[in-house]
Copies of this chain bind each other. A is one copy, B any other.
Amino acid sequence: MREQLTEEYVRRVWEELPRFVKPTTFQSTMLLNKALGAEVTLAVETMQVTGSFKFRAAYNLLREVEQDEVVTTSSGNFGQAVAYACMLLGKKCTVLMPANSSRSKQDNIRTYGGEVKLIDTSKGSRSLYTTEWLNHHPDAFYAPPYDHYRVVAGNSSLGKEIFVHFGRDGLDHVLCPIGGGGLISGIVTARDLLAPGIEVVGAEPLLGNDAARSLRAGHLVSLEAEPATMADGTRTLSVGNLNWEIIREGLRRIVEVPEENIAEGLRLLYSRANLKVEPTAALTVGAMLTQPDAFRGKRVCLVVSGGNVDLDTYVKVLAG
C-alpha cells in the first residue's frame, strides 16, 4: 500500500479534496495558553463535515471507488462519515453496528442516508459479520477506517493545512491522537513533505497504549482486547499495517495519557476554549498535562479530532 502513497498522489489529493471538506478551524486563547504553559494553537475538526476529521478520510477513499454499494463496520465517526460521503456520491451505504451502539449515532447514520444493520458482537466478531455480509453482496466495497493509502492521504489534507498555516519553522510540535493510526500517519505524511523539522508527537490512552508499546518494541504490538478507555475513537487492538510503517519511521515519542488527564483535557477545552469535544479529541491536551515539562514554553499545535459525543458521556466527564 505504501508505494501507492506517492508524493504526486498526495499532492493531487491536496488539490482536489478541499472542495468537499471544510477547512480546519485554528483557535488559540490566552486562557488555554496560561493553563498549559505553552503557545498553543488548536486545529479543531469538531465542525468538520459529520463532526470529525474522518470525513476527510471517507470522502477521499470513496470518491474513487467504482462500486455503487459500500459497507463498513464503525459504530462511531467513520460510520457517519462514510454514510454521508456515500449520500453525496450517490452510493448505497450499509453500516454494521454493534447492537449496543448509541441511539443518536444510529439516528445520525440514517439521517445521512445510511442503512444501519445491528450485529450481536457477543455471537461473532465484527469482521465475521462483515465477511458474511460481503459474501451476500459480492459487488460491494468494504471501507477500511485507517489502513488504506487513500484514507491516509485524505487525512494528510489536515496536516497540509497545519503546515501551510504555520510554515516550516512556525511550530515546535504537532500533537495528534492515535487510534488506528490513520490520522497521525496523514499528519506525518504531510510533515515529511512540507515541514520536516517539526516533530509530530502521538497522544494515546495509557489504557490502550499499543502504539507506544509498538514504538518501544520496534514491531507492531496488538492488545488482547478492546481497551476500556473513554477515548472511544482509539479502542483499536493495534494500528494498521500501513499506519505502523509510517509511525515507526515518523515518530520519536508517543505520550501515554491516563484517563483522568483525558477528562481534564476535555474540561479545559470546555472552560478555556469554549469547545465541545469528544474524549478522543481531548487526548492532545491530556498529553500536555501528562508531560508538562516536555512542552513548556513551546509552540504547539494540538489536533482536536472531533466533537461527536453522547450527551450522557459528556455530562459525566464534565461533572468530573
A residues lining the B interface (CB < 8 Å): 25, 27, 29-31, 34, 46-47, 51, 84, 104, 108, 111-112, 267, 270-271, 273-276, 307-308, 311, 314-315, 318-319
Contacts and interface: CB of A to CB of B under 8 A. Distances in A.
Contacts of A84: 30
A307 B314 CA distance: 17
B315 A111 contact: no
9 contacts: A25-B47, A27-B47, A47-B273, A51-B274, A267-B311, A270-B276, A270-B311, A311-B319, A314-B318
How many copies of this kind of chain does the complex include? Answer: 2
Given A112-B30, A318-B311, A274 B274 contact: no
Contacts of A273: 47
* Interface of chain A: mostly helix, strand, loop or mixed: helix
Given A25-B25, A47-B27, A276-B276, A311 B111 contact: no
A174 to B, nearest CB: 20
Contacts of A108: 31
B111 A30 contact: yes
Nearest to A44: B47
Given A30-B84, A31-B108, A47-B25, A274 B311 contact: no
A273 B46 CA distance: 9
Contacts of A270: 276, 311, 314
A274 B22 CA distance: 14
A318 B319 CA distance: 12
